[in-house]
Amino acid sequence: MACPERPPLCLYLVRHGETAWSRSGQHTGRTDIPLTPEGEDEARALQPSLAAIEFNRVLTSPLLRARRTCELAGLGGAARPEPDLLEWNYGDYEGLRSSDIRAKHAGWTVFRDGCPRGETPEQVADRADRLIARLRAGHGNIALFSHGQFACVLAARWIMAPVLAAEHLALTTASLSILRYNPAHPDVAVIALWNAAPPFLPRFGMLTATDPGSA
């Protein structure tokens, strides 16, 4: 008897809901702050669309803002902590805005320059690559609850782009992105959906080989 074909890997990448620091633009790495009431509402708005998807695995950053987003989105019961989904360690730049940093270091970007006493771009790339290698050994739908700048690096590394390419990606809070393989070219990793807000999720909830641009 032939073995049933395993469903293709599809990663549903969710950034956590709003926090006080994401609202103010402060770099929030390992500071474990909660969602705002608005952030909790954003997370709840994800639930109807995510409930329509059967997930093989649900992984979340251990930090409160990601775990709480996962819970309010309806997937907390299946979630497992994944340290590699943590946000960039900003070191000395923790709590600072980009404008504060550039006032002293003109032209600074985290994706090229990293953070003193925090993580370098190479270290974050290694972390993303390690996680991707483990995820690629699986199959089916996997939900990932993470953070803004690490998620951008994860997407860049998924398509084998350099870390610096992540500066061209942006994520709003409680957004959904989808990383998968092109159905017409199964060895080609693609960003199938990026930075979608809940009103748009039903349209993209399950992507198939007949989607525009899949050929």
Q: What's the residue count for the chain?
A: 215
User: What pTM was computed for the model?
Assistant: 0.91
pLDDT of 33 reads: 97
139 classed as catalytic? no
User: What is the mean predicted confidence (pLDDT) over 181-199?
Assistant: 92
pLDDT band at 214 (very low <50, low <70, confident <90, very high): very low
pLDDT of 206 reads: 44
105 classed as catalytic? no
Q: Is 89 annotated as a binding residue?
A: yes
pLDDT at 1 over 80: no
Q: Is 88 annotated as a binding residue?
A: yes
pLDDT at 215 over 50: no
User: CA 45, CA 38: separation in Å to the nearest integer?
Assistant: 11
Q: Is 195 annotated as a binding residue?
A: no
pLDDT of 68 reads: 98
The answer to whether 66 and 147 have CB atoms below 8 angstroms apart is yes
Q: Which residue in the list 18, 42, 87, 119 is annotated as catalytic?
A: 87
pLDDT band at 210 (very low <50, low <70, confident <90, very high): very low
User: What is the mean predicted confidence (pLDDT) over 166-181?
Assistant: 96
Q: Is 173 annotated as a binding residue?
A: no
Considering the domain 10-98+109-200 in this protein, what is its CATH number?
A: 3.40.50.1240
- SS3 for the chain is CCCCCCCCCEEEEEECCCEHHHHHCECCCCCCCCECHHHHHHHHHCHHHHCCCCCCEEEECCCHHHHHHHHHCCCHHHEEECHHHCCCCCHHHCCCEHHHHHHHCCCCCHHHHCCCCCCCHHHHHHHHHHHHHHHCCCCCEEEEEECHHHHHHHHHHHCCCCHHHHHHCCCCCCCEEEEEEECCEEEEEEEEEEEECHHHHHHHCCCCCCCCCCC
pLDDT of 195 reads: 96
User: What is the mean predicted confidence (pLDDT) over 104-121?
Assistant: 97
pLDDT band at 148 (very low <50, low <70, confident <90, very high): very high
Torsion of CA 165, 111, 198, 186, to 10 degrees: 40
pLDDT at 3 over 70: no
Q: Is 29 annotated as a binding residue?
A: yes
pLDDT of 198 reads: 78
Q: Is 65 annotated as a binding residue?
A: yes
- Find how far residue 134's CA is from the centre of its chain: 16
pLDDT band at 199 (very low <50, low <70, confident <90, very high): low
pLDDT band at 155 (very low <50, low <70, confident <90, very high): very high
Provide the 10 A C-beta neighbour count for residue 92: 11
User: What is the mean predicted confidence (pLDDT) over 169-192?
Assistant: 95
Amino acid found at 103: A
pLDDT of 207 reads: 40
